[in-house]
Amino acid sequence: MPFDPPPSLPRKVAPLSFVSPIADLLVKDSASLAAAVAKLDAGAATTLFVVDGEDRLQGRIGVAEIEAALARGQGPQSRVGAAMIPDAGGLSADLPETELAARAKDGLVALVDGERRPVGKRDATTARRIPIAEPTLGGKELEYVTECVTTNWISSQGAFVRRFEADFAKLLGVPHAVAVSNGTVALHLALAAYGIGPGDEVIVPDLTFAASINAVIYTGATPVLVDVAADTWNLDPAALSEAITPRTKAIMPVHLYGQSAEMDPILALARKHGLVVVEDAAEAVGAKHKGVPCGAIGDCGTFSFFSNKLITTGEGGMVVFKDDAIAARARKLRDHGMNPQKRYWHDEVGFNYRLTNLQAAIGCAQLEQLDGFLARKMDIAAHYSKRFAGVAEIETPAVLPGFDNSYWVYSVILDCAGLGLTRDEVMARLSKAGVDTRPLFFCMHEMPPYKAYAGNRAFPTASRLSENGLSLPSSVSITQAQLDHVADALTGLVRTRRLARALVS
């Protein structure tokens, strides 16, 4: 997008949409090291470009150069010019885009006019913000959707719906999969199929997306919120045990962000008390617990295929069942409660929760690519974990024996007190660096519609995670340069905050 440089900078800019403003990254060579640290800190930057009194490019300086200068005995008020990397270069803003892209692929560069005055910046990630998650539609999606259109099978009737259900059931190793219009109704349909309603209680973790608790409320049952475990970020079995009452009918473990809940003690408690286990696996396609796919561990499991999920149908969902009779009831309820042998005869009040053939066609194509998607998610997680290893201010997802995380989105817990910033302030600074982030979900007990379901229970772990948690860009399509940029931005922020606080003290 066009931008107006400050008056001290020339107005000639390259006529390119990917050129980004550079004013926030400029520092005078006469400025102090402390001033450079403050500018790096405020802008979530890892590099500043050094200019002279006439705004001509002289070099660059970052946290590493400032740390080295301080280690050599230079004080915080020492000049930037004495610590910078001189003659760091700069690219002419008049160069063709292809050459600029090639020259900037290995790092941030300044774009300069004919008098070496910076007019913009360019790097491998400047073209657009790096999103948290976006769909990858590189398989047979268009071919299958075109088949739906050319054959006129576009509604909830059609071969792709049946194929999608069969393929998904096979993937999870369960006898029944029922395709539905989204992940929220998948949860509602699962609970309704088991007859859960007024007078019943369903235990739900406090740290989850609102769809989990909303589905319980839809049935007329009462959700009971409990705290989560510090390692899995999911339902805490100890808190679960204390929350079971004679009215409890079901437990809803949520496999948050692709990490399985600790299912063995949850299942043991459910069997002891005769409770149904409804797994909310909306974010956990491909995740496993001791070799068993998430969603196929309890009595039934639900999934979401929203556009940001690992596999997508745009909107859509699935419920998987082990019990033949419960699955049959779910299919009937999905279609208005209509008797399958007597068309337009309704045995009970049901819902219109059907998935279209168009959506199922996309789902079939997505399933064909699932192994590749999962492999890429593992690569992304491994890269982030390696980059953040040993950084005390960044807590990475726990790697637990027998837990195969699918890493729907890679999330971290920040030491916000140590950084001297709130989580939202960190997000704002990363946004300046072109990195899209998301907070972990808000605790259910803190929001107006759900406060009444907290009882007198405490939620210290859920609260800590929610207040300090951050999700990072994790799309299957993310490039290596983008991954490096995200990791550089976050680790650079940490290093700058350490330096800024040290200089203040």
Contact 227, 206 (CB under 8 A): yes
- What stretch of H or E contains 414? strand 411-414
Contact 140, 360 (CB under 8 A): no
Q: Is 31 helix (H, G, I), strand (E, B) or coil?
A: coil
What secondary structure, in 3-state letters, does 423-476 show? HHHHHHHHHHCCECCEECCCEHHHCCCCHHHHCCCCCHHHHHHHHHEEECCCCC
Catalytic residues: 309
Task: Sort 214 into a burial class: Cβ within 10 Å, 0-12 / 13-18 / 19+.
Answer: middle
What's the token pair of residue 192? 């309704």
Angstrom distance (rounded) from CA 405 to CA 259: 5
Q: Is 248 helix (H, G, I), strand (E, B) or coil?
A: strand
Torsion of CA 197, 198, 199, 205, to 10 degrees: 60
Q: Is 282 helix (H, G, I), strand (E, B) or coil?
A: coil
Residue spans of alpha helices (H) in 339-396: 357-368, 370-388
Q: Which of 187, 266, 258, 273 lies closest to 223, judged by CA? A: 187
Q: Which of 88, 83, 80 lies closest to 35, judged by CA? A: 80
Q: Which of 245, 492, 501 lies closest to 391, judged by CA? A: 492
Contact 38, 500 (CB under 8 A): yes
Angstrom distance (rounded) from CA 195 to CA 329: 10
- What stretch of H or E contains 38? helix 33-43
What secondary structure, in 3-state letters, does 286-297 show? CCEECCEECCCC
Q: Which of 353, 297, 333 lies closest to 194, judged by CA? A: 333
Angstrom distance (rounded) from CA 459 to CA 462: 5
